[in-house]
């Protein structure tokens, strides 16, 4: 038992809408006479149904608003974000606290503009959703019974007021929310995005904790080092709050997750300091084991516990609670304790010159090296899993992240328009071996850099870096999402003030607070000279020229890569069960792909036009909703799958690691919607999820068909065999990936099947697969039925007979015959495939 006590204030909460006719907000709980009318202190207050609490969730639980995720209900609840809301609770405090005790309230998540009052006195004004806010309390301010009162103001109105003072700026397109959002440190997707609704939430979205102490652990830093030879060291630093002179002993214990003590040490001090190193250990070989990303080894984790003890028998004549005195009868008095879970690993971002050029030129790599091993990163981009953050349970986080891991993903990028996720997210990533790319929370806008804004961001960044730095999953901090790119695209923005943040403030915070330094990247995408965010030879790229931009065919993905593709994607509709959820009892006329209600749940810019281009290119048109849903999902899986296999093919070994990562947009949804997500809001995977898993497996195989046509000005290459002109021949390029760290022999089996006859052909050969790279296996003619004069599919003997041939490749274990990988290449476009 510790003399430091932390109490979550999770009981006795109630809420109400602010009554605009009452001039002084405290009168809402005092019940004073206002304008000659006596107001009851209980008027309008409702008991909170959930804690932590958000106002939309409470309103729905009380049947005061409809579910915004159904039908057109989003539009019926817009008023919620335009008014003010109040929360209050009562809590007791031990009246026997000694005079030397101190106290503070810790607000782990307030959304967003909030004044906080304790027993009628304002103790805090918050304006940053991403900070943890602290209010130091004088002992005299706490009573046996206390009232905590929170006044949430309209974030939307605050942002517009700031815009009126400082000027309107560019911030994304019309479907990325009102540009005034850049002036407020609140989750940017709350203003609407091209996959999410406009729902301006407010409330207590993370716990409030009361801490009473004499001296307590304010901050604990665990720095686990792994050298190039895999030798490990651990340094533990502590920052204290309160009277450090009371501390007589530090005790540090390192345990594995089975509870076995690996190392422990007690250190007695004459005079403790507020900041000190309490452990600096070097481990013998195999004394601790390394943490590896999924697919490369096990995720060994350890608990580091720090305890601080009072000087033995030193009461110093102070007044203590009876419980404190009982503790002091022991030989030592535990003042406070804290435990962090760590892993031993090293992570580097390697940007070095390539030895040979690829189709884009030479340039430099952009790859991650963990524990000395260069790794191909395959994964996806994460957005908040709900617009109402308090509804995302730990179990739901685990289910989402397990889905990614089971899909052979090893990296997840936390996008810059959402939030810094709660501890459970990163804990699960540690356990599963998912590396984390963490954006700081800036997205698609010209953010300000006046002094108060920069100071708030610096504090926000420092708090979150301190909170996240011990996680072995942390691989990268990134300054922003697409802010540089947007400025280049617009062409009319003369100055980006937030350069100060991205190129000075954030890198200095990361460098100062992480040791060894976690890599920092100033923006995504970012790379070439003059902020060139589309240079495929350096840095990372966001490849949107297929869905948006130039609206190129997805069959061009192999020509549209880069050193690290951190965003790209193709949307699809979710499954019919999810569509039925938002449709509810909609009229029959709404049950088609182009209805108003389907459009309400599809936020992508120009989505009808862009869907029409890609769908018309590849599939037969249909008016049946279920068929249209399936076709969009098939298109998404084919497009994204082709991108993954094409870009992973460019991981060709040291000196030729041309593409080192592919992160699809996006992992998930925040509500039921048509989007780029690979699994919908209800964690229902789309077909693309399984295609990605196949292409990111330890072993993968791929085929590209090249058709040589009889005229150089024939249709584009994705139209393999069809049209006014005919094809003279077709060749197949076949390659494979060995993602393991050991060379492997395998049997390559090729299988050709004609859809319009009984003809088929199979052949095998043994191939060698070097470790940790893609290898070109062979280039061979695509076989087809024999040419038989007028009996050929076209009736002309000079043309190929492969227009209806499916070519398949499988990698087989030489000894057991087990399938290691498989792929099938069909003639395209699919809309020309008929029953023969």
Active-site residue set:
482
Contact in structure between 804 and 754 (CB atoms under 8 Å): yes
Contacts of 627 by beta carbon, 8 Å cutoff, 6+ apart:
none
Determine the Cα–Cα distance for residues 168 and 331; give it in Å rounded to an integer.
65
Determine the Cα–Cα distance for residues 88 and 107; give it in Å rounded to an integer.
14
Determine the Cα–Cα distance for residues 269 and 245; give it in Å rounded to an integer.
10
Structure tokens at 456: 């708030």
Contact in structure between 122 and 148 (CB atoms under 8 Å): no
Structure tokens at 149: 């009162």
Determine the Cα–Cα distance for residues 272 and 277; give it in Å rounded to an integer.
11
Structure tokens at 770: 């070097």
User: 3-state SS of 478-490?
Assistant: ECCECHHHHHHHH
Determine the Cα–Cα distance for residues 182 and 498; give it in Å rounded to an integer.
11
**b (16+ CB within 10 A) / e for 780-799:** eebbbbeeeeeebbeeeeeb
Q: How far is CA 731 from the centre of its chain?
A: 40
Tell me which residue of 264, 267, 271 sits closest to 247, measured CA to CA: 271
Determine the Cα–Cα distance for residues 335 and 218; give it in Å rounded to an integer.
12
Q: Alpha carbon of 166 to those of 158, 180, 441, 448, 498: distances in Å?
A: 12, 10, 21, 9, 14
H helix or E strand, kind and range, residue 693: helix 687-695
Q: Please, what is the Cα angle at 802 between 799 and 803, to 5 degrees?
A: 90
Contact in structure between 498 and 480 (CB atoms under 8 Å): yes
Contact in structure between 215 and 463 (CB atoms under 8 Å): no
Tell me which residue of 297, 234, 298 sits closest to 262, measured CA to CA: 234
Contact in structure between 100 and 79 (CB atoms under 8 Å): no
H helix or E strand, kind and range, residue 115: strand 114-118
Cα radius of gyration (the chain):
30
Residue 148, beta-bridge partner list? 89, 118
- Within 650-743, strands assigned E span 661-664, 699-709, 727-738
């Amino acid at each position: 038992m510790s003399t430091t006590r932390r109490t979550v204030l999770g009981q006795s909460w109630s809420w109400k809408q602010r009554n605009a006719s009452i001039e002084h907000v405290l009168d809402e709980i005092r019940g004073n006479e206002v304008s000659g009318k006596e107001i009851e202190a209980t008027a309008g207050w409702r008991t909170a149904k959930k804690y932590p609490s958000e106002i939309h969730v409470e309103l729905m639980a009380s049947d005061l608003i409809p579910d915004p995720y159904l039908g057109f209900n989003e539009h019926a609840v817009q008023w919620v974000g335009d008014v003010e809301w109040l929360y209050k609770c009562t809590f007791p405090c031990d009246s026997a606290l000694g005079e030397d005790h101190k106290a503070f309230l810790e607000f782990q998540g307030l959304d967003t503009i909030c004044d906080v009052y304790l027993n009628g006195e304002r103790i805090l004004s918050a304006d940053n959703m991403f900070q943890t806010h602290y209010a130091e309390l004088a002992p005299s301010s706490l009573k046996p019974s206390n009232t905590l009162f929170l006044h949430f103001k309209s974030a939307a109105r605050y942002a517009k007021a700031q815009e009126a003072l400082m000027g309107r700026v560019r911030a994304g397109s019309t479907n990325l929310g009102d540009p005034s959002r850049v002036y407020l440190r609140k989750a940017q997707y709350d203003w609407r995005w091209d996959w999410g609704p406009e729902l301006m939430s407010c409330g207590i979205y993370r716990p409030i904790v009361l801490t009473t102490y004499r001296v307590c652990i304010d901050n604990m830093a665990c720095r686990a080092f792994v050298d190039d030879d895999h030798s490990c060291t651990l340094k533990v630093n502590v920052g204290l709050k309160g009277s450090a002179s009371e501390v007589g002993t530090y005790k540090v214990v390192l345990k594995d997750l089975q509870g076995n003590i690996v190392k422990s040490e007690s250190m007695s001090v004459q005079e403790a300091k507020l900041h000190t190193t309490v452990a600096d250990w070097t481990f013998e070989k195999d004394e601790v084991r390394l943490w590896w990303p999924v697919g490369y080894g096990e995720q060994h984790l350890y608990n580091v516990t720090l305890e601080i003890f009072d000087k033995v028998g030193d009461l110093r004549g102070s007044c203590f609670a009876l419980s404190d005195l009982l503790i002091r009868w022991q030989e030592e008095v535990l003042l406070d304790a804290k435990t962090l879970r760590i892993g031993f690993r090293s992570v580097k971002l390697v940007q070095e010159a390539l030895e040979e050029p690829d189709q884009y030129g030479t340039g430099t790599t952009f790859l991650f090296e963990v524990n000395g091993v260069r790794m191909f990163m395959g994964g996806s981009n994460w957005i908040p899993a709900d617009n109402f953050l308090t509804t995302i349970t730990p179990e739901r986080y685990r289910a989402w992240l397990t889905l990614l891991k089971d899909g052979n993903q090893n990296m997840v990028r936390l996008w810059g328009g959402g939030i810094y996720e709660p501890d459970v997210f990163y804990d699960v990533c540690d356990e599963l071996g998912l590396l984390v790319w963490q954006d700081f929370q800036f997205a698609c806008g010209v953010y300000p850099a006046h002094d108060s804004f920069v100071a708030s961001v610096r504090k926000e960044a420092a708090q979150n870096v301190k909170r996240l730095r011990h996680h072995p999953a942390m691989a990268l901090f990134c300054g922003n999402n697409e802010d540089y790119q947007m400025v280049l695209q617009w062409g009319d923005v003369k100055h980006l003030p937030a350069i100060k943040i991205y190129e000075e403030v954030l890198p200095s915070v990361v460098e100062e607070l992480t040791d060894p330094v976690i890599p920092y990247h100033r923006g995504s995408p970012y790379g070439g000279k003059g902020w060139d965010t589309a240079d495929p030879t350096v840095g990372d790229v966001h490849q949107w020229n297929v869905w948006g931009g130039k609206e190129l065919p997805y069959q061009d993905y192999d020509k549209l890569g880069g050193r690290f593709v951190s965003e790209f994607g193709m949307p699809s509709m979710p499954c019919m069960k999810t569509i039925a959820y938002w449709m509810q009892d909609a009229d029959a006329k709404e049950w088609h792909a182009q209805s108003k209600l389907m459009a309400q749940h599809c936020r992508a810019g120009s989505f009808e036009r862009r869907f029409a281009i890609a769908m018309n290119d590849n599939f037969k048109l249909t008016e049946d909703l279920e068929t249209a849903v399936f076709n969009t999902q098939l298109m998404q899986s084919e497009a994204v799958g082709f991108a993954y296999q094409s870009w992973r093919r460019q991981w060709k070994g040291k000196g030729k690691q041309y593409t080192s990562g592919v992160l699809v947009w996006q992992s998930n949804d925040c509500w039921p919607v048509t989007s780029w997500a690979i699994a919908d809001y209800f964690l229902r995977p789309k077909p693309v999820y399984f295609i990605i898993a196949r292409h990111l497996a330890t072993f993968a195989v791929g085929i590209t068909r090249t058709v040589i046509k009889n005229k150089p000005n024939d249709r584009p290459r994705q139209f393999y065999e069809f049209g006014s002109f005919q094809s003279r021949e077709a060749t197949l390029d076949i390659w494979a990936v060995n993602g393991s760290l050991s060379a492997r022999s395998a049997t390559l089996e090729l299988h050709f099947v004609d859809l319009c006859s009984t003809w088929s052909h199979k052949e095998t050969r043994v191939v060698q697969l070097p470790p940790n790279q893609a290898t070109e296996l062979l280039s061979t003619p695509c076989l087809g039925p024999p040419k038989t004069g007028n009996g050929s599919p076209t009736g002309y003997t000079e043309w190929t007979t492969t227009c209806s041939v499916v070519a398949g490749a499988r990698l087989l274990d030489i000894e057991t015959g087990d399938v290691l990988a498989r792929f099938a290449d069909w003639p395209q476009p699919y809309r020309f495939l008929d029953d023969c």
